[in-house]
């Protein structure tokens, strides 16, 4: 089928199939072929690549991914859309449509099963998505902490969230999710996307981020669980000093003061001013 990434084709499909784009599922479809091409370009796809797409919708991005990558596995939660997708993707033999909730799926299992290979032999793969915005945080955490063999993620997110993920210490945009993204990946902006290229049109602009998985963490952390517990505690009470914020972790104040001194951190600082390396030093001193 022709590209669905035009306002005319998308509207015609929506009318013909009697679809009602659901806000509750974050359904804002891309209707600009140029943006679709740029997203696919950012993923640097070739015939050797396997791509997992989250939320193919009507297939605008899927069609482009299928033209560039070796294999595409597209996970869609909405069964009505799945019926339409089998038409918009008809003839694309390298696409597998999967009905399901991306938050609940083990991506490595899915890719290994789709490629018919053992999970232990799985090559790295890529994830590309115009994300349904209501799942941005949980899906990012799932993809980052799931220990999947994902080498690169190209993800469209709300602009405001995108800037938060890239934020450096010291400002109010910097938070636990910025630290997680920067710990696991090297994030960069691939593209700024105006709200005008979607149907229906959302209330905010978007950013496409390119998150390249690091082969090695940027700071030495012996216990990642502890590292992220400290970070969550620091940002949960961001107005407090780091000494008081860490008090929620049930350790004596005198103990905490010693730990911070050992880590070389002024106890009066706020968590939002601490770098990844400083959080790592606290977690090392904690043990």
Residues that bind ligand SAM (CB under 6 A): 25-30, 54-58, 60-61, 75-78, 81, 101-103, 130, 132, 135
Minimum CB distance to ligand SAM, residue 75 (Å): 5
Alpha helices in the chain (DSSP H): 7-17, 33-42, 60-68, 79-88, 107-115, 136-145, 159-166, 176-184, 224-236, 242-245, 253-263, 276-286
Minimum CB distance to ligand SAM, residue 179 (Å): 24
Q: Which is nearer to ligand SAM, 50 or 130 (CB)?
A: 130
Q: Which is nearer to ligand SAM, 35 or 112 (CB)?
A: 35
Q: Which is nearer to ligand SAM, 60 or 72 (CB)?
A: 60
Minimum CB distance to ligand SAM, residue 162 (Å): 14
Q: Which is nearer to ligand SAM, 106 or 275 (CB)?
A: 106
Question: Which residue's CB atom is positioned nearest to ligand SAM?
Answer: 55
Minimum CB distance to ligand SAM, residue 25 (Å): 4
Q: State the DSSP string of 188-240.
A: EEEEEE-GGGEESPPSS-EEEEEEEEPSS-SS--S-HHHHHHHHHHHHHTTTS
- The CA radius of gyration of the chain, in Å to the nearest whole number, is 21
Q: Are 207 and 157 in contact (CB under 8 A)?
A: yes
Q: Which is nearer to ligand SAM, 32 or 49 (CB)?
A: 32
Minimum CB distance to ligand SAM, residue 203 (Å): 13
Classify residue 239 as exposed, middle or buried by CB count within 10 Å of its CB (0-12, 13-18, 19+): exposed
């Amino acid at each position: 089928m022709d590209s669905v990434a035009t306002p005319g084709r998308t509207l015609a499909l929506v009318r013909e199939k009697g679809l009602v784009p659901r806000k509750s599922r974050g359904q804002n479809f891309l209707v600009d072929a140029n943006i679709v091409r740029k997203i696919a370009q950012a993923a640097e796809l070739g015939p050797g690549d396997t791509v997992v797409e989250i939320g193919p919708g009507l297939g605008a991005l899927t069609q482009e991914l299928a033209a560039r990558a070796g294999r595409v596995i597209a996970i869609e939660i909405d069964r009505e859309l799945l019926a339409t997708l089998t038409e918009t993707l008809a003839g694309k033999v390298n696409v597998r449509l999967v009905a399901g909730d991306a938050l609940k799926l083990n991506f490595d299992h899915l890719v290994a099963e789709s490629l018919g290979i053992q999970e232990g032999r799985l090559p790295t793969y890529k994830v590309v998505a115009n994300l349904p915005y209501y799942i941005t945080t949980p899906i990012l955490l799932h993809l980052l902490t799931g220990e999947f063999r994902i080498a690169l993620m190209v993800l469209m997110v709300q602009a405001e969230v995108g800037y938060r993920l890239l934020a450096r210490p010291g400002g109010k945009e910097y938070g636990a999710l910025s630290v997680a993204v920067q710990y696991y990946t090297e994030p960069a902006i691939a593209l700024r996307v105006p709200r005008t290229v979607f149907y229906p049109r959302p209330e905010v602009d978007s950013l496409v981020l390119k998150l390249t998985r690091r082969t090695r963490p940027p700071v030495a952390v012996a216990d990642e669980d502890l590292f992220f517990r400290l970070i969550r505690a620091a940002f949960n009470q961001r107005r407090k000093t780091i000494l008081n914020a860490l008090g929620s972790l049930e350790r004596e104040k005198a103990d905490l003061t010693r730990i911070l001194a050992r880590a070389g951190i002024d106890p009066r600082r706020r968590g939002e001013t601490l770098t990844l390396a400083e959080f790592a030093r606290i977690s090392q001193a904690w043990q």
